[in-house]
């Protein structure tokens, strides 16, 4: 806990361009959290190495992600926004924690099985021990709260197990993190396969709205969105495509499902898809304009990165030194 505020920790991987799902499901909701919590947000570039990266593209994507954080409204002077790889404590603590993590626990991680199936030609040890690095990310900063989606619940559970195991041996070293459940936000699904989550790695370009898509592209993708053979705009389990579009429209306009159904009563899917596309394009226009400004202002971004890297390093070192002392590692001569 810093400044009497609980500490909230989260981050996103530095691969590809963030999607509308990333924005509406998480990023948009992060913006006001610093009023209540001390917030750290990582550009999670070490995690991204489990998949082979093109170095030049990787560096560009990481900087782009940092700029998107800020463009979305995260103030880098009020939130600690930093590069994971710039704080060596992540890797150092990950190794120590791996010695307190059991193979059986890692074998139960469903995300490893899913990713291994997608990258059968590169099932590396990093992919397997990914949850330990994630535990280190969280525990390094003594995080009280971690926003989690359904696909990350297992990772928070193993983080809590590792922390409790360590504390039972060495005393009260780590804060046991709790899940943070957002008050708002939606799980945004693919525009082409509405039964699965929107993903920036989807090979079908029409399935995903990227935050930097231009207005015409956004509207075109929504016009091509998969719906059903019905023509009524109505929220229902048997209408996943339309329900997903209604979730998106609700998030960007603030309208309830009942209001949306009334607005489009007697109108067809074409009118509704166009309205959703235009609303999303309007929502993203200020973010895109701010992003362009940030990417053009190299000195400002560099200054914010340097300041926040140093802040994150300070917090991380306090925990790391304590852990190293507890396990018996020889203290460094300073």
- Domain of residue 282, CATH code: 1.10.240.10
User: Does 283 lie in the same domain as 317?
Assistant: no
| Active-site residue, selected from the candidate residues 200, 223, 255, 326 | 200
- Domain-embedded: residue 287: yes
Handedness of CA 233, 235, 238, 241 (dihedral sign): positive
CA–CA separation, 68 vs 23, rounded Å?
Answer: 10
pLDDT tens-place string over residues 155-214: 899 999 999 999 999 999 999 999 987 765 568 999 999 999 998 888 899 999 999 999
Catalytic residue (choose from 197, 223, 255, 326):
197
Q: Is 304 inside a domain boundary?
A: yes
Q: Which domain covers residue 320, as residue numbers? A: 7-181+298-327
| Residue 200: predicted pLDDT | 85
**Is 197 labeled as catalytic in the residue annotation?**
yes
Asked if 44 and 14 count as a contact pair (C-beta separation under 8 A), the reply is yes
The torsion angles phi and psi of 22, rounded to 5 degrees, stand at -60, -40
Summarised one tens digit per residue, pLDDT across range 303-324 is: 999 999 999 999 999 999 999 9
Residue 133: inside a domain: yes
Active-site residue identified among 5, 115, 311, 326: 115
Provide the CATH number for the domain around residue 58. 3.40.50.620
- Asked if residue 42 lies in contact with residue 84, where contact means CB atoms within 8 angstroms, the answer is yes
The domain total for the chain is 2
What are the helix (H) ranges across 72-214?
A: 89-98, 103-107, 110-118, 125-140, 153-170
Angle formed by the axes of helices 55-71 and 298-327, nearest 10°: 100
pLDDT at residue 61, as a whole number? 94
What was the pLDDT predicted at 133?
A: 96
For residues 183-209, b (16+ Cβ closer than 10 Å) or e, as one string?
Answer: eebbebbbbbbbeebbbbebeeebbbb
Residues 253-264: tens digit of each pLDDT: 999 999 999 999
32 or 248: whose pLDDT is higher? 248
Q: How confident is the model at residue 230 (pLDDT cuts 50, 70, 90)?
A: confident
**pLDDT for 252-305, tens place per residue?**
999 999 999 999 998 989 999 999 999 999 999 999 999 999 999 999 999 999
Over residues 92-119, the pLDDT tens digits come to 999 999 999 999 898 888 777 777 677 6
For residue 229, the model assigns a pLDDT of 87
Q: Which of 20-29, 53-62, 113-122, 191-200 has the lowest mean pLDDT?
A: 113-122
Residues 159 and 267 placed together within one structural domain of the fold: no
Whether residue 153 lies in the annotated active site: no
Rounded-to-integer distance, Cα 74 and Cα 125, Å: 34
Going by their DSSP bridges, the two strands 145-147 and 80-83 should be labelled as unpaired
Q: What is the rounded CA–CA span in Å between residue 328 and residue 204?
A: 51
* pLDDT at residue 150, rounded to an integer: 61
């Amino acid at each position: 806990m810093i400044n009497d505020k609980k500490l909230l920790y989260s981050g996103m991987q530095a691969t590809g361009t963030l999607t509308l799902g990333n924005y509406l499901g998480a990023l948009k909701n992060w913006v006001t959290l610093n009023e209540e919590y001390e917030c750290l947000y990582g550009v999670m570039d070490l995690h991204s190495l489990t998949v082979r990266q093109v170095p030049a593209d990787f560096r560009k994507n990481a900087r782009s992600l940092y700029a998107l954080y800020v463009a979305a409204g995260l103030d880098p002077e009020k939130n600690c926004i930093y590069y994971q790889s710039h704080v060596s404590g992540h890797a150092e603590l990950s190794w120590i924690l791996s010695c307190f993590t059991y193979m059986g626990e890692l074998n139960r991680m469903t995300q490893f099985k899913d990713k291994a199936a997608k990258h059968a030609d590169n099932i590396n040890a990093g992919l397997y021990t990914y949850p330990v690095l994630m535990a280190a990310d969280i525990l390094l900063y003594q995080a009280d709260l971690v926003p989690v989606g359904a696909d990350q619940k297992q990772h928070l559970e193993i983080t809590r197990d590792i922390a409790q195991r360590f504390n039972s041996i060495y005393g009260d070293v780590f804060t046991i993190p709790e899940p943070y459940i957002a008050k708002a936000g939606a799980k945004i699904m693919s525009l082409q396969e509405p039964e699965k989550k929107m993903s920036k790695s989807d090979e079908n370009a029409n399935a995903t709205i990227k935050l930097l898509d231009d207005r015409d592209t956004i509207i075109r993708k929504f016009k091509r969105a998969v719906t059903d053979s019905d023509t009524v705009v109505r929220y229902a389990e048997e209408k996943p495509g339309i329900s997903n579009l209604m979730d998106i429209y609700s998030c960007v306009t603030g309208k309830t499902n009942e209001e949306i159904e009334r607005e489009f009563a007697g109108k067809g899917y074409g009118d509704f898809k166009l309205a959703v596309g235009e609303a999303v394009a309007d929502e993203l226009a200020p973010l895109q304009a701010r992003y362009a400004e940030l990417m053009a202002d190299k000195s400002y971004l560099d200054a914010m990165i340097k300041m926040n890297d140093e802040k994150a390093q300070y917090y991380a070192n306090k925990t790391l030194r304590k852990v190293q002392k507890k396990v018996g590692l020889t203290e460094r001569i300073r």
